[in-house]
Amino acid sequence: MTSKTGLEFKVGDAVVYPAHGVGKVAAIETQEVAGMSLEVYVVTFDHEKMTLRVPTKKAVTAGLRSLAADDVVTKALTTLKGRARIKRTMWSRRAQEYEAKINSGDLISIAEVVRDLHRADTQPEQSYSERQLYESALDRMAREVAAANKIDKDAAVELLAKSLSAKKPIPTAEAA
């Protein structure tokens, strides 16, 4: 079924909603809202045990999109191999920026967060909030890479780990 906006999600399609990650279009329904008829995508997120209804006419402005194309996934994996770019601003400010990138739904932005917050075994331990943001970004990225490559989430995490292990180390304070 094609909505009037030209988006062509069908029942069963995997889609990405910025604030929740990868979901599946479970149905396309017409609902009565405030006396008006409204066509909505019913998107389920199994990992969050949540169902979201997105009006088909508002799907684009809400940020609902198809899974990342192969070239975007490749670029995201390449991003993981890059050098971490950590700004010298207060943690609270950086944390807000990381959270915004994760919730943007943009795979490349999420990859930047994973890259910047990743710690090798030889590096100092992360704070609790750093680890929470890192795990959130890693989980979001792994789910989309898994869905895009038609592999399970564990295989996607392995793929991300390989890319991360190939990244350039962060210079330590002594080296700087």
The CA distance from 171 to 120, in Å, is: 12
SS3 118: coil
Q: What angle do CA 105, 108, 111 make, to 5 degrees?
A: 95
pLDDT tier at 87, thresholds 50, 70, 90: confident
How much is the pTM? 0.84
Which of 79-83, 87-91, 123-127, 167-171 is least confident? Answer: 167-171
Higher pLDDT, 124 or 159: 159
d(CA 110, CA 148): 15
Asked whether residue 173 carries a pLDDT value surpassing 60, the answer given is no
DSSP, res 55:
E
All structural domains of the chain, each given as residue ranges with its CATH number in brackets, are: 11-64 (2.40.10.170), 68-163 (1.20.58.1290)
Q: What is the pLDDT of residues 32-75, one digit of tens each?
A: 888 889 999 999 998 888 999 999 999 989 999 999 999 999 99
User: Tokens 């943007």 identify what position?
Assistant: 104
